Every structure is written in C-alpha cells, then in structure tokens.
Amino acid sequence: MNLTQNLKWLRYRAKWYLNPQLHLVSKFPTHLDIETTTACNLKCTMCPRTQILKLGKPYEVKFMELNLFKKIIDQSKDRGLFAINLNASGEPLINKDIAEMIRSHEGGYAEKVYLDSVGVPTGGWGHAFLVGSRIPLPVATALFDMDFRTAIDDYNSFNLDLCENRKAVIVDMLFNLGIVRFKTFKKLIARIHARDFSGAADEMVDSKWYGQVGKRAQMLVKMMREDRSYKSIMEV
C-alpha cells in the first residue's frame, strides 16, 4: 500500500470510529448498507427477519432493481463513500442481479491490473491477484495463449529471420522475460543479426538470466548453438 492509500484507509477508519464519538455528521455517508433483497431461504434463529416471520408480522419480499443499484453507486462513488455492505435483512445471493450489481460496483472491466484503494493488485471485475490465489485451468490456458501470442508478435517485431529451432529459443526467451527485458540483450540481438549463432549462445551464457533460469537456459543455449530441436535434446 502506498502513502496515499495508507492515508485514505486511515481516514476511513478514523471517520468510522471518531464520528459517532464526536457527534460528527459527514456530508455523505462513510458506509452504505444496501439491501438488494429482503428474500432469504433460511431462518436463522438470531435473525430479525426470522423473528418478524415467527410473530406473523407483515413482511414484504422485494428485490432491488439493477438500475436503482447502479444509480446509488454512481451517485456515491465520488462523494466520499468508503465502503458498502450488500445485505441487511435478506440474502443478497438470492437476487438474480447480484453478479451484475457487483460488476457495476467494481467500476466496470479493468483490462489492466491496477492497485486498488488499499494497494492490492486488481484486474478484470475486481479480481484480487494475491499470492496463493487459485487460477482455474481454463483461465490459466487463456492467459498462456495470450502471453504466447504476445511473444510471437514480439519476435516478429525484431525481423530476425531465424530457422525454426532458433526462433523457438527467442520466442521462449521473450515469453520468459517480456520484450522490455529481452531488448537489454543487445549483444545477443547483434550476434543474431550478424548470423553468429555460436557467439549468440555465448552471449546467452554470459548473462544473469542464464544463472537465474537453470536447465531451461542450458537447453536454449544448446538449441541456439547447435540448431537442435527441443525434442531432440529431450530424447537424449
């Protein structure tokens, strides 16, 4: 969390605790309880809803319209609102619009990962990218395909005109390093342009990357130096 985000968080918590004690009223609520539905399929004993039903008091089951929810969020987000809670006396997951409500609350689809208000890397529709987060296989496959296509596009941007085996080496390095770091391998790129593949292999060995990626680097160096395929090395 950076300094601005830390200060924002502290301001939020300070308002939460101090405003009631000092009898201060903000221009706009710090926190909103938004009741998206009064429906629930349970009857927990401690729930006021259960008690109302038990006593036979009138209780109307309603669902908030998505447009109303969006209107509340649109009117609140730039006025000092820090947090929302999506239930009061109902089970919000019963509302068929709940997924779209949350998407709308997250401010729409974020194509790029950004740091949220408390410093958590976030992307898509409010997805937190945390160490230990689960990545389902279809998502991992889509990410791999995207990164692989990027590596191929990056390779094509260099106009290296290599045979398949050596092309595979550079695509692998671009996938692993990204184009910005790969461009720092200036001597390697110059050797390839000069068609000096043994020298290019030497440049790969003479880099920090070679020590960092272990066997992967040794294999790629062999492929570059000897014009060997990945499979021919694996089969030995």
* 42 touches ligand SF4 by CB under 6 A: yes
CA 217/CA 232 separation, integer angstroms: 16
Which residue's structure tokens are 């030995």? Answer: 236
**x/- map, 50-89, ligand SF4, by CB under 6 A:** x--------------------------------------x
d(CA 212, CA 184): 16
| CA 195 – CA 201 distance, rounded (Å) | 11
Contact in structure between 199 and 172 (CB atoms under 8 Å): no
- What is the chain's Cα-based Rg? 28
Residue 14 burial class via C-beta count within 10 angstroms: exposed 0-12, middle 13-18, buried 19 and up? exposed
Judged by CB under 6 A, the number of residues near ligand SF4 is: 10
**For ligand SF4, which is the closer residue by CB, 32 or 94?**
94
Q: How far is the CB of 13 from ligand SF4 (least distance, A)?
A: 26
- Rank residues 60 and 111 by Cβ distance to ligand SF4 and give the closer one: 60
Q: Does 49 bind ligand SF4 (CB under 6 A)?
A: yes
Measured CA to CA, the distance from residue 74 to residue 125 in angstroms comes to: 16
Q: Which stretch binds ligand SF4 (CB under 6 A): 46-54, 95-103, 132-140, 203-211?
A: 46-54
Q: Which CB sits closer to ligand SF4, 34 or 40?
A: 40
> Measured from the CB of residue 20, what is the shortest distance to ligand SF4 in angstroms?
24
Q: Distance between terminal CA atoms of the chain?
A: 49
Residue ranges in contact with ligand SF4 by CB under 6 A = 40, 42-44, 47, 49-50, 89-91
